[in-house]
Structure 1
Amino acid sequence: MEALISLMLIVMGHITGGVLLIGTLLAILWDILIGSGATLISIVLVLILVDSGEHVLQVGYSTGRVVLIILLVLV
């Protein structure tokens, strides 16, 4: 559950913040406080997002798809 919340923070940060690192910083902070193990996922998502160079809103939706794939793989 904690990992899911962290990943939701990542997506919300990308969609609403307009800055690629906002959601990741929130997720890393959450990971430090709770220990959900989402930091590595956050770093991977940032690398994907920086590499893609898409518009922020499109990046948010892309991140959502990546998150769903990661969750399916982990479960």
Structure 2
Amino acid sequence: MTYHLQLNAALGPEMNSLGAVLDARSTSTWIATGLVFAVEIGLFEVCRRNFAKRWSATQEAIERVMQLGVAGKGRSA
């Protein structure tokens, strides 16, 4: 919205986004945008934590398989 205010001043403060008309000079638009951003950050963090758990479990499984593979071969070299 700041970009719109600075570079598209000739077009006016209103812009269309996802079918909604947003007034870049309106306080309520900025508050709503901030709330949407906060929710997005929260959802991203939930997904990131879930991904980190799965990634860690996968890495541990790979390490176990690697250790069993090395231990099972012995020192026949």
TM-score range, shorter-chain basis? Answer: 0.3 to 0.5
Q: Which structure has the higher relative contact order (CA within 8 Å, separation 6+)?
A: 1
TM-score calculated relative to the size of structure 1: 0.33
Q: Which has the higher helix share?
A: 1
Q: Give the alignment's TM-score, normalised by structure 2.
A: 0.33
Larger Rg: 2
